[in-house]
Amino acid sequence: MLHNPNHIYIFDTTLRDGEQVPGCQLTTSEKIDIAKELELLGVDVIEAGFPISSPGDFQSVVELSKAVKTPIICALTRAHKGDIDSAVASLQYAKRPRIHTGIGASDMHIKYKFNSTREEILERAVSAVKYAKGFVEDIEFYAEDAGRADIEYLAKMIEAVIAAGATVVNIPDTNGYCLPDQYGSKIRFLKENVKNIDQAIISVHCHNDLGLATANSIAGLQSGARQIEGTINGIGERAGNTSIEEVVMILKTHQGINLNTNHINTKLFYNLSRKVSTEMHMPVQPNKAIVGSNAFAHSSGIHQDGFLKMRENYEIIKPEDVGFPSASIVLTARSGRHALKHHLERLGYVMEKVNLDEVYHRFLNLADQKKEINDQDLFALMGDGTEANYNESSIKMKTLNVIMGENAIPEATVTLEISNEEKQATATGNGPVDATIKAIESITGKKPSLKEFNIQAMNGGSDDISRVNMLLFLDGKNYDGYGFSTDIVRASANAYLDAVNKFLS
Residue numbers of the site for ligand KIV (CB under 6 A)? 17, 142, 144, 170, 172, 174, 205, 207
Nearer to Zn ion, 109 or 467 (CB): 109
**Could you tell me the smallest distance in angstroms from the CB atom of residue 178 to ligand KIV?**
12
Give which of 501, 484, 500, 502 is closest to 492, Cα–Cα.
484
**Could you tell me the smallest distance in angstroms from the CB atom of residue 92 to ligand KIV?**
22
Nearer to ligand KIV, 170 or 273 (CB): 170
Nearer to ligand KIV, 99 or 472 (CB): 99
275: partner contacted, choices Zn ion, ligand KIV, none (Cβ within 5-8 A by kind): none
- Report the alpha-carbon distance of residue 124 to residue 132 in Å, rounded: 12
Alpha-helical segments (H) within 91-179: 107-112, 118-133, 151-163
**Could you tell me the smallest distance in angstroms from the CB atom of residue 15 to Zn ion?**
13
Binding mask 13-52 for Zn ion (x = CB under 5 A): ----x-----------------------------------
Whether the Cβ atoms of residue 219 and residue 190 lie closer than 8 Å to each other: no
**Could you tell me the smallest distance in angstroms from the CB atom of residue 215 to ligand KIV?**
17
Nearer to ligand KIV, 144 or 480 (CB): 144
Give which of 233, 143, 238, 236 is closest to 247, Cα–Cα.
233
**Could you tell me the smallest distance in angstroms from the CB atom of residue 207 to ligand KIV?**
6
Nearer to Zn ion, 17 or 279 (CB): 17
49: partner contacted, choices Zn ion, ligand KIV, none (Cβ within 5-8 A by kind): none
∠ CA(262), CA(263), CA(267), 5° rounding? Answer: 95
DSSP of 183-248, one letter per residue? HHHHHHHHHHH-TTGGGSEEEEEEB-TTS-HHHHHHHHHHTT--EEEEBGGG--STT-B-BHHHHH
Chain position whose Cβ is nearest to Zn ion: 17
Nearer to Zn ion, 17 or 375 (CB): 17
- Report the alpha-carbon distance of residue 408 to residue 391 in Å, rounded: 37
Walk across the sheet containing 408-418 and list its strands. 396-405, 408-418, 421-428
**Could you tell me the smallest distance in angstroms from the CB atom of residue 62 to ligand KIV?**
21
Nearer to ligand KIV, 33 or 173 (CB): 173
- Report the alpha-carbon distance of residue 477 to residue 471 in Å, rounded: 10
Nearer to Zn ion, 17 or 63 (CB): 17
- Report the alpha-carbon distance of residue 350 to residue 364 in Å, rounded: 21
The residue length of the chain stands at 505
**Could you tell me the smallest distance in angstroms from the CB atom of residue 239 to ligand KIV?**
12
Amino acid at site 100: H
**Could you tell me the smallest distance in angstroms from the CB atom of residue 140 to ligand KIV?**
9
Query: What residues from 57 to 76 belong to the interface with Zn ion (CB under 5 A)?
Result: none
Is residue 173 a contact point for Zn ion (CB under 5 A)? no
Give which of 228, 287, 234 is closest to 257, Cα–Cα.
228
Nearer to Zn ion, 15 or 437 (CB): 15
502: partner contacted, choices Zn ion, ligand KIV, none (Cβ within 5-8 A by kind): none
**Could you tell me the smallest distance in angstroms from the CB atom of residue 147 to ligand KIV?**
9
Nearer to ligand KIV, 39 or 209 (CB): 209
144: partner contacted, choices Zn ion, ligand KIV, none (Cβ within 5-8 A by kind): ligand KIV
142: partner contacted, choices Zn ion, ligand KIV, none (Cβ within 5-8 A by kind): ligand KIV
Whether the Cβ atoms of residue 48 and residue 60 lie closer than 8 Å to each other: yes
Amino acid at site 259: L
19: partner contacted, choices ligand KIV, Zn ion, none (Cβ within 5-8 A by kind): none
**Could you tell me the smallest distance in angstroms from the CB atom of residue 237 to Zn ion?**
6
- Report the alpha-carbon distance of residue 142 to residue 201 in Å, rounded: 12
Whether the Cβ atoms of residue 447 and residue 460 lie closer than 8 Å to each other: no
186: partner contacted, choices ligand KIV, Zn ion, none (Cβ within 5-8 A by kind): none
CA atoms lying within 13 Å on the CB side of residue 278: 25
50: partner contacted, choices ligand KIV, Zn ion, none (Cβ within 5-8 A by kind): none
- Report the alpha-carbon distance of residue 238 to residue 496 in Å, rounded: 25
- Report the alpha-carbon distance of residue 329 to residue 335 in Å, rounded: 12
Binding site for Zn ion (CB under 5 A): 17
